[in-house]
Amino acid sequence: MGAINPALKPRLRRRSVFEYLAWVVCILLGLGILISVLTNPNFKWHVVARYFTHETIIRGLMLTIFLTLASMALGTVLGLVLAIMRSSSIKPVAATAGVYITLFRGTPVLVQLIFWFNIAALYPNLTIGIPFTDFSTAVDVNALMAPITAALVGLTLNEAAYMAEIIRGGFSAVGKGQIEAADSLGMSAVMKMRKVIIPQAMPSIIPATGNQVIGMFKETSLVSVLGVAELLQSAQLIYARTYETIPLLIVASLWYLVMTLLLSYPQAKLEQRYSRATSALPRRARRASRTEPEGIAR
């Protein structure tokens, strides 16, 4: 066994005096803020504790989780379709997906939510039927586009535009040689997408999707402007009656923080899993170079 190359030995980093001083300053500053927050009677922590598990708050939290999961699931499916269209060699198909992505990424989510909630002003009634037949059904758009429906539609369509770009970025990470090998094997476009492109794109797609889930959970607070009784709207309904605005906003903020931390854990595990898979080969190569006999030329 050859001696370990000194260049491969881990180097210990010495901590400077400035770093220790920075730690002391940060700790003192954090303790000062914490003591101020806990001892200030205006925060009314007893009110926060009373409403933290209030029935209205928990009901709003459940609706927020539902909107997050439903919007992400539907948005991911639609985003996959858009990503495939955007990568298509057929120019009109790629252009249509590009216009959609540009439109929904280029306008604020709040504006989109309000637009879908008021879509009945443009199309009060729609007729759905089979062309050249008498089979048709009239749809009252005003009754159909209830606040929660408008919230789900708005969040889904907006999320689809972002997921389309994330998925398309994952597609572009697949080596060109892999696609050429699939073509040489005579794979159809569907089989090539299912067997080659999507599995190899997942390490790039999943971590970014985890960030989108966390962002979507916080983004659902925007639907409160539509009157949807999600977490923020539930807190607003309570403090509109009790006039305890700050404690109820703290309750909502704490729940957002707790759920964000809970969602961050599986995201970190997924990122760790896929980063381990992509870094396994370099580690094996380094290990082999360390155990290589000295006489072998490099």
What is the average pLDDT across 60-88? 92
Does residue 103 belong to any structural domain of this protein? yes
pLDDT of residue 5: 60
Tens digit of each residue's pLDDT (9 = 90 or more) over 262-271: 888 887 777 7
Tens digit of each residue's pLDDT (9 = 90 or more) over 233-256: 999 999 999 899 999 999 999 999
Task: Using alpha carbons only, give the angle 95, 96, 97 rounded to the nearest 5 degrees.
Answer: 90
pLDDT of residue 10: 59
Tens digit of each residue's pLDDT (9 = 90 or more) over 5-20: 655 555 666 778 888 8
Tell which wins on pLDDT, 296 or 186: 186
- The DSSP secondary-structure symbol of 140 reads E
Does residue 38 belong to any structural domain of this protein? no
Least reliable range by pLDDT among 104-113, 171-180, 231-240, 285-294? 285-294
Does residue 28 belong to any structural domain of this protein? no
pLDDT of residue 66: 95
Q: How many independent structural domains does the chain possess?
A: 1
What is the average pLDDT across 190-209? 79
Token pair 């759905």: residue: 128
pLDDT of residue 291: 44
Does position 281 have pLDDT exceeding 50, yes or no?
Answer: no
pLDDT band, very low/low/confident/very high, at 296 (cuts 50, 70, 90): very low
pLDDT band, very low/low/confident/very high, at 284 (cuts 50, 70, 90): very low
Radius of gyration of the chain measured on its C-alpha atoms: 27
Does residue 61 belong to any structural domain of this protein? yes
Note the Cα 180 to chain centre separation in Å: 32
pLDDT of residue 294: 41
Q: What is the mean pLDDT of the chain?
A: 83
What is the average pLDDT across 270-274? 71
Integer Cα distance of 209 and 206 in angstroms: 5
pLDDT band, very low/low/confident/very high, at 62 (cuts 50, 70, 90): very high
The pTM of the full predicted model, rounded to 2 decimals, is 0.78
Q: What is the residue range of 136's domain?
A: 44-278
71 in Cβ contact with 155 (< 8 Å): yes
Q: In CATH, what number is assigned to the domain containing residue 143?
A: 1.10.3720.10
What is the average pLDDT across 58-82? 94
Does residue 15 belong to any structural domain of this protein? no
Note the Cα 172 to chain centre separation in Å: 20
Integer Cα distance of 54 and 154 in angstroms: 29
- The DSSP secondary-structure symbol of 178 reads H
Phi, then psi, of 294 in degrees rounded to 5: -65, -30
Does residue 37 belong to any structural domain of this protein? no
pLDDT of residue 19: 85
Does residue 10 belong to any structural domain of this protein? no
Tens digit of each residue's pLDDT (9 = 90 or more) over 91-149: 999 999 999 999 999 999 999 999 999 988 888 887 777 776 777 787 778 888 889 99
Tens digit of each residue's pLDDT (9 = 90 or more) over 133-159: 777 787 778 888 889 999 999 999 999
Does residue 152 belong to any structural domain of this protein? yes
